Amino acid sequence: MTDIGLGGRTRLDRDRLLRLLQDYGVHLGVAVLLLVNIAITPHFLSAENFRTQAVQVAPVLIVALGMALAIGSEGVDLSVGSVMALSTSLLSLYLGYGMWIALLVAVLGGAAVGVANGALIAYIGVQPIVATLALMVAGRGLAQVLLPQLKDVHDPTMASLGSGDLLGIPYLVLIAVALALLVAFVVRRTTFGRQLLAIGDSRPAAKLAGLPVRRVLILVYVCSGALAAIAGVLATARLTASDPTSLGNLMELSAITAVVVGGTPLSGGRVRIGGTVAGAVLIQLLTATLIKHDLPPSWTQIAQAVVIILAVYAARERGRR
Amino acid sequence: MLPVTGSGAPPVAGPAMLSVSGLGKSFPGVRALDGVDFTARAGEVHALIGENGAGKSTLIKVLTGVYKAGEGEVRYDGSAVRFATPLQAQHAGISTIYQEVNLVPLMSVARNLFLGREPRGRLGLIDFRRMHREAQEALRGLGVRVDVRRPLRELGVGAQQMVALARAVSVDARVVIMDEPTSSLEPREVATLFGVIRMLRGRGIAVIYVSHRLDELYEVCDTVTVLRDGKAVHTGPIAELDRLRLVALMLGREIGDVREEGLTKFSGNHDTEAQPVLEATGLTVRHQLDGVSLTIRPGEVVGLGGLLGSGRSETAKAIAGALPPDSGRVVIAGVPVRTGSTPAAIRAGVSLLPEDRKAEGIVPGLSVRENIALAALPGLSRFGLVDEARIDRVVDTFMKRLRIKASGPHQKVGELSGGNQQKVLLARWLAMNPKVLLLDEPTRGIDVGAKAEVQKLIDELADDGLGVLLISSDMEELIEGSDRVVVLKDGAVVEELTGDAVTEDRLMRAIAAAPAAQATTPATSGGDDD
């Protein structure tokens, strides 16, 4: 920028402030919500409360990690909620063979949905929103065919996975944190991560640079599917029941919200894992705050909408750069 | 006025139908039109030609109401007009056939023909029987036999173009503008089109004809206006302008103008006797390339000459695997390469610097470092993990060697100047140790200093033994930079200039040359080079 005219400096400062706000606004939001709650919400500052919040946010966060990859590749994955349902059905069906086998089958099921999504997008050229919409409908249907109604899960290992902890930290939270670190590592340090970002930023350029565009896209949706399946397994463990009808309903929207609020642009080319984590936490805290103050659920939705609009507004400013 | 057939003497042109005077139009940073005078007369076919960025599209868009005139006046049928929308221009009687067919693909042929003016029966409902009958007749008049009830998209591109033509003709147009109407037509359809154009001329309609195919212009047009850099540099009867002069006007060059060497940064020749590093034979892509063959030896810069739309970019893309050819072979250093696969071509050692640097070259949101490492990434990784230290070394080496000016390796490429973006792309490919570099307009849109630097780099790379294919609209650059020039016209090689024959003069003559056998001219041509 060679804008050194009158007022150029102040504009530069404002630009920088705006950019900082865009990049770290979500973290700021989390901090503000925490402070507000500490001030006005009784019993907020208790280990038990934090535990509850963290356990509730874990599945959303895990799904959002996969969603961040899909969005970073200039796509989206609407099938994640249905994949959660499918994984709970598979888990429940195969639990007789032992928990680890059932777990493996559930995750493989999610990965298979990812292969289908990726193949439709990469080879047939279907737009991601349409391809994953198809799998969203098909996945939920298949889940309900496999397991027509709610079924309790009586497995001690599953139960301990859902409610046990290590040094006071629930397994669910530990797993979510580990996965977030893993995905962040993949994005930053692997060829796959770099290629994903290049493809998301400029598909024609990536193609002409000889990148394996199709392979990368399929892998993106496989990751997203597998992560959603893991989220489904963990949610099942927490509820100690498989409910393919309602598990994961509207999860795709919560995940997209977390990703967008976290500052990952929908136009692709950028994946912010830290922001996604903060985005998921922000929405969780917002919901919790309103519930604790006995506001009706509709208020929660309105508040979410406001946060999304703010995030999109920030993204628009970023897109102009 | 009697209908005139054949390309004989043009009819006495009627009164001015659509004209502009002193037309100016600016876009941020660009003066697209600058004081253009242009008059299309009734009963005249007026050719409008010019190279990339000459202002043709802008002029047409002003004439058809897409853009508003910046300065100057548009006159239609004797009075000053200002079309606010394309629709107004259409209603006034200005019909346009665009290069890309602008119809509704899912609707039937007949509905497309009558869109917005369907014949109505009682109760104001569409009279489909009448519509189908009239549509069938209108198309038969143009020699097109199709079921008019079928959706338009089921027709071939040529047939679709004829439907667009039928639509333009059947409305009561007084001016018909055709923007490269023949780019996707078969020879038979071209003949039909010319028949229709002559019929329109006979009816006293003003036809404005935009094309890059010189043969067509001489066959069907009466008058020609040449645009260059936003100015009308010549207007007059086309019969009085020979082809060479026309090409010279388009390119802004003087015939016989012997230029001294040393205006560009290219140094001497690189003629070698070594085995070719690239052999492309018979590359053919429907409507775009017609059996293009060329060879490049190591250390040689081969120029690809020709006008816009002659198939230069398509040739480069076909070699690089980005445009799958219908037939043809590509052999790199003696080894045949699977065509139509970019990764295969890259593995074989082919690198393409695309013409559209911003859309197809750089990844704007990523850093200089990531952009340079992009193609070589698998080689700079171990077990899928990126080796940052090695990338740093490679990036550092090339940023120094190519003198890339950035605030650092982590600056976003989108923020760099055009010249530095181009160098980043060069670095990306050089990191792959290529054998052949295909450079499509490597210096377009970059400033003078950077241009000289890029030219010097190209020279150095050839000295290092790379085979270089150079595409450039800049005559000087092409002539001085190339050891040989292969001249393309309508998607086919028409001449190869070597040694002392590599001069602007010879190049222009080759471009302007009339086809040897008129009747067997292949109807292939490049799509737009853009």
Decide if A194 and B428 are in contact by the 8 Å CB cutoff: no
What residue segments make up the domains of chain B, in order of their start?
A: 104-161, 256-349+434-530, 369-432
| A203 Cβ under 8 Å from any chain B Cβ | no
pLDDT at B394: 92
| A255 Cβ under 8 Å from any chain B Cβ | no
Residue in B225, B198, B196 with CA at minimum distance from that of residue B210: B225
Distance from the first to the final alpha carbon of chain B: 40
How far is residue A62's CA from residue A53's CA, in Å, rounded to a whole number?
Answer: 15
Residues of A in contact with B347 (CB under 8 A): 210
Taking CA–CA distances from A319, the nearest residue in chain B reads: B365
The closest CB to that of B374, out of A192, A209, A270, belongs to: A209
Query: How many structural domains are present in chain A?
Result: 1
| Nearest chain B CA: its distance from A35 CA (Å) | 35
The DSSP letter of residue B25 is: E
Residues of A in contact with B373 (CB under 8 A): 194
Residue B342 is encoded by which pair of tokens?
Answer: 């970019």
| Nearest chain A CA: its distance from B58 CA (Å) | 26
Taking CA–CA distances from A197, the nearest residue in chain B reads: B366
Q: Which residue has the tokens 């079924």?
A: A151
Residue B98 is encoded by which pair of tokens?
Answer: 């665009």
Tell me whether residue A68 is in a domain.
yes
The CATH number of whichever domain residue A293 belongs to comes to 1.10.3470
Residue B346 is encoded by which pair of tokens?
Answer: 């890259």
Position A86 confidence tier, pLDDT thresholds 50, 70, 90: very high
- Burial zone of B119 (CB within 10 Å; 0-12 exposed, 13-18 middle, 19+ buried): middle
| Phi/psi at A127 (5° precision) | -65, 140
pTM: 0.73
Overall fold of domain B256-349+434-530: Rossmann fold (3.40.50)
Q: Which residue has the tokens 């253009």?
A: B36
Taking CA–CA distances from B323, the nearest residue in chain A reads: A208
Decide if B346 and A212 are in contact by the 8 Å CB cutoff: no
In this complex, how many residue pairs, one in chain A and one in chain B, have their CB atoms less than 8 Å apart? 72
Taking CA–CA distances from A195, the nearest residue in chain B reads: B374
Residue B228 is encoded by which pair of tokens?
Answer: 């260059």
Residue in B344, B291, B346, B234 with CA at minimum distance from that of residue B488: B291
| A172 Cβ under 8 Å from any chain B Cβ | no
Sign of CA dihedral A170, A173, A179, A182: negative
Which residue segment(s) compose the domain that A71 sits in?
60-320
How far is residue B427's CA from residue B416's CA, in Å, rounded to a whole number?
Answer: 14
Q: Coil, strand, or helix at residue B104?
A: coil
Residues of B in contact with A209 (CB under 8 A): 346, 374-375, 428
How far is residue B278's CA from residue B349's CA, in Å, rounded to a whole number?
Answer: 10
Strand partners, B20: B38, B74
Taking CA–CA distances from B318, the nearest residue in chain A reads: A208
- The one-digit pLDDT tens for each residue of chain B (530 residues) are 444 444 444 455 688 889 998 988 887 767 888 889 999 999 999 999 887 778 888 898 888 888 888 888 888 888 888 888 888 888 888 888 876 666 787 888 888 888 777 888 778 888 888 888 888 888 887 777 788 888 888 877 777 878 888 887 777 788 999 888 877 777 777 888 888 888 888 888 899 998 878 888 888 999 999 998 888 999 999 888 888 888 888 877 766 544 444 445 565 555 556 788 999 999 999 888 899 999 999 989 999 988 877 888 899 999 999 999 999 999 999 899 998 899 999 999 999 999 888 888 899 889 999 999 999 888 888 888 989 999 999 999 999 888 888 888 999 988 888 888 989 999 999 998 899 999 998 888 777 777 888 888 888 888 888 999 999 888 888 888 888 999 998 889 988 888 888 888 888 888 887 665 443 334 444 444 44
Instruction: Mark out chain B residues that contact chain A at CB-CB < 8 A.
Output: 320, 322, 342-343, 345-347, 352, 354, 359-366, 370, 373-375, 377-378, 381, 384-386, 428
Strand partners, B439: B353, B470
Residue A227 is encoded by which pair of tokens?
Answer: 């992560």
| A196 Cβ under 8 Å from any chain B Cβ | no
Vertex B332: Cα angle to B330 and B338 (nearest 5): 45
Residue in A190, A195, A259 with CA at minimum distance from that of residue A227: A259
Chain A interface test: which of B363, B370, B371 (most A C-beta within 10 Å): B363
Sign of CA dihedral A123, A125, A127, A132: negative
| A182 Cβ under 8 Å from any chain B Cβ | no
Taking CA–CA distances from A186, the nearest residue in chain B reads: B385
Interacting residues of A187 by C-beta distance below 8 A, sequence separation 6+: A69, A72, A193, A196, A197, A271, A273
| Residue B271, number of CB atoms within 10 A of its CB | 12
Taking CA–CA distances from B349, the nearest residue in chain A reads: A210
Decide if A189 and B385 are in contact by the 8 Å CB cutoff: yes
The closest CB to that of A191, out of B354, B362, B381, belongs to: B381
Q: Coil, strand, or helix at residue A154?
A: coil
How far is residue B128's CA from residue B130's CA, in Å, rounded to a whole number?
Answer: 5
CB B33 within 8 A of CB B70: yes
Tell me whether residue A3 is in a domain.
no
Decide if A269 and B365 are in contact by the 8 Å CB cutoff: yes
| A201 Cβ under 8 Å from any chain B Cβ | yes
- Burial zone of B432 (CB within 10 Å; 0-12 exposed, 13-18 middle, 19+ buried): middle
Residue in A54, A285, A44 with CA at minimum distance from that of residue A177: A54
How far is residue A242's CA from residue A227's CA, in Å, rounded to a whole number?
Answer: 18
Decide if A194 and B377 are in contact by the 8 Å CB cutoff: yes
Give the Å distances, CA to CA, from B150 to B110, B145, B324. 8, 12, 30
Tell me whether residue A16 is in a domain.
no
Residue B515 is encoded by which pair of tokens?
Answer: 């086809």
Tell me whether residue A48 is in a domain.
no
Which strand (E) or helix (H) includes residue A157? helix A156-163
How far is residue A189's CA from residue B77's CA, in Å, rounded to a whole number?
Answer: 67
CB B161 within 8 A of CB B97: yes
